Chain A
Amino acid sequence: MEVKQTAGVAVEHHDDHTHEHDHHETFLTKYIFSQDHKTIAKQYLITAIIMAFFGMYMSLIFRLQLGFPETKFAFLESLIGKWGKGGRLDPGFYMALVTIHGTIMVFFVLTGGLSGTFSNLLIPLQVGARDMASGFLNMLSFWFFFLSCAVMTYSVYIETGPAAGGWTVYPPLSALPQAMPGSGLGMTLWLVSMVFFIIQSLLGGINYICTVINLRTKGMSMTRLPLTVWAFFITAILGVLTFPVLLQRLYFWSSTEVLAQVFIFQIFLLEV
């Protein structure tokens, strides 16, 4: 009897599991490559906060220079090496810090961090959907964001310094290494990072739009949507409309920088 009972319980338990897929998840699928909108929202939040601290630490350094232009800060040399020789911030690296600080704050914290975190967390909850329209795209969107953050962070540590032409990267200053050293490899990495960033923004945006249009619960008409969801919705539409244009421009620009030598070589071969 006892054996039968436990078997029965076990079977029931098993039944439960087949109904709720979410229970048998490994650490990898639950916390790293999660397709759950709440976890992805947290991933966005944590990544954006880390980037925000990174950006803040940069602004601390360049504001020290602004506030106390005559003072020498000995710790700068140990902190940023050759850019802080003798405790004075290098003028070129000052520009680089301002540029990367601006980029991080505008794109990674305000655009990616806020929209990625709150759209992901709140849209399904407030429209009454189980999850986003595509959990997989959502996961992909976060990992493109992560990749973009990683490339941008990496670009700070290269020898010629990161992009330094201001976060608006107006050419020709940002396009020609002759104009400033940061416009070489630093700018290329900046462009690559931004291409990844825009891909994540597009994937996220399409997902938010689909969820708001298609996955509202019964009775939740567009006019009854909370204002927050309307705000996310419009933000996503604007992003999807504008970012492809920027992506195209950045893609061509970065490919001319990255692939220029390859193409020139091919043309050379054809001509010969």
Chain B
Amino acid sequence: MTLLITISILLGILVLVRLMTIVQLSSELTGSSDSQEEQIRHNNSNGFGFIVFMVLGLGLFIYMTIDYSKHLLPVSASEHGVGLDKLLNINWAIIGVVFFITQIALFYFSYKYRDNKKHEAYFYPENYKLELIWTIVPTIVLTTLIITGLKQWNGIFSEKENSMNVQVYGYQFAWITRYSGPDNTLGKSNYKLITDDNPLGLDASDPAVKDDIYTTGNEMHIPLGQELKFQFNARDVIHSAYFPHFRAQMNLVPGMNTFFSFKPTITTAEMRKITGNDKFDYVLLCNKICGVAHYTMKMKVVVDTPADFKAWLKSQKKASEVKAAPPVSALNSTVKGSNSI
């Protein structure tokens, strides 16, 4: 097989070389005998082609924008997402208008000013006023957009009051979510303590660990209207936690804490009504290639009313069930044997 492919590639190269020589020879033989009329005919057909291309291209653009809009994400289910969506829409509107103006100008002028001996080329090297206008206007528009975006960004990453601390922990190829419990503090963890019974490597000697609760299934719940501060950690390689419906994404980097805060505003039940899809579910996806089964790294996210959330939390695993850590000297010897990264 490899041999066949190699031979076909070599033959392909040979064919290309032969073609090159043929083209070279034929151009030497024919020479340049294009008459003026022939050139004008050529320009006319090319000019017409530009118009056809413009109409087809812009038509397809409009058609696809409308037809594919049904695949867009539903309305944002988080507080900050509404602002982000608005900013994105403003961006689209500006880009769309500029796109149409420039494309129409590009193709129409190519058609209109083609060389057909009816008008002569006009040498027009510079116009400072025009250049100033098309430099300053985009500068102002872009600066405004960037400043608005920066404001949004600062809003998203500002410290919020009364937020609940939640850890999102990723590893090849699944997620675990840990809730900080009544003390709202995520207890210490250490990768050296990771075992089958203690997938997060929780340090049982830390009192803050005692009331932590973590998920064992492939489903996480979050309470409606509660500001959530997510802390992201990875066990092995870089992952990326992507909550598309909440307009949130953050990388998980091994050995680092990263954060993202959002407040869910629409429950799963309400969103099912909005989308008209009984089976709709929010998801948490891994959005960074993290290995062979990256595509399976997916968790169902359910937005509950606070009461339902409390009830669900009781069904999850309590960190107090994790056994206390062995003494440090014993720890070192176990670390060597374990194959955690």
Contact = CB atoms under 8 A, between A and B. Distances in A.
A260 interface: no
B98 to A, nearest CB: 20
A173 B291 CA distance: 7
| Size bracket, chain A contacts | 20 to 34
Nearest to A79: B1
Interface in B5-55: 9, 12-13, 16-17, 20
Contacts of B291: 95, 173, 179-180
B87 interface: no
Given A165-B289, A172-B254, A173-B289, A50 B237 contact: no
A248 to B, nearest CB: 22
Contact of A172 (B13, B17, B236, B339): B236
A173 B9 contact: no
Given A46-B16, A179-B236, A91 B293 contact: yes
B109 interface: no
Contacts of B17: 31
A170 B238 contact: yes
Nearest to B234: A172
A81 B290 CA distance: 24
Nearest to A176: B341
A157 B293 CA distance: 21
Given A172-B237, A173-B238, A50 B13 contact: yes
Contact of B9 (A50, A98, A165, A179): A50
Nearest to B292: A92
B341 A178 contact: yes
Contacts of B272: none
Mostly helix, strand, loop or mixed at chain B's interface?
A: loop
Contacts of B341: 172, 176, 178-179
B289 A95 contact: yes
Interface residues of B, number: 23
Interface string B246-258: 0000000010000
B158 interface: no
B2 interface: yes
B292 A157 contact: no
Contacts of A164: 289, 292
B238 A91 contact: no
Interface in B223-248: 236-238
Contact of B2 (A50, A157, A172, A180): A157
A239 interface: no
Contact of B289 (A50, A166, A176): A166
B186 to A, nearest CB: 24
B6 to A, nearest CB: 9
A176 B18 CA distance: 45
Nearest to A91: B292
Of A78, A157, A180, most buried by chain B (CB within 10 Å of CB) is A180
A170 B288 contact: yes
Contacts of B16: 46
Nearest to B9: A50
Nearest to A167: B289
B295 interface: yes
B192 interface: no
Nearest to A169: B289
B317 interface: no
A31 B13 CA distance: 13
Given A173-B289, A179-B172, A95 B237 contact: no
Interface string B286-300: 001111111100000
A180 B292 contact: yes
Contact of A95 (B1, B172, B294, B339): B294
Nearest to B237: A173
Contacts of B236: 172, 179
14 contacts: A50-B9, A91-B292, A95-B289, A95-B291, A95-B292, A166-B289, A172-B236, A172-B254, A173-B238, A176-B237, A176-B341, A178-B341, A179-B237, A179-B341
Interface of B: 1-2, 9, 12-13, 16-17, 20, 172, 236-238, 254, 288-295, 339, 341
Closest 4 A-B residue pairs measured CB to CB?
A173-B237, A166-B289, A92-B292, A180-B291
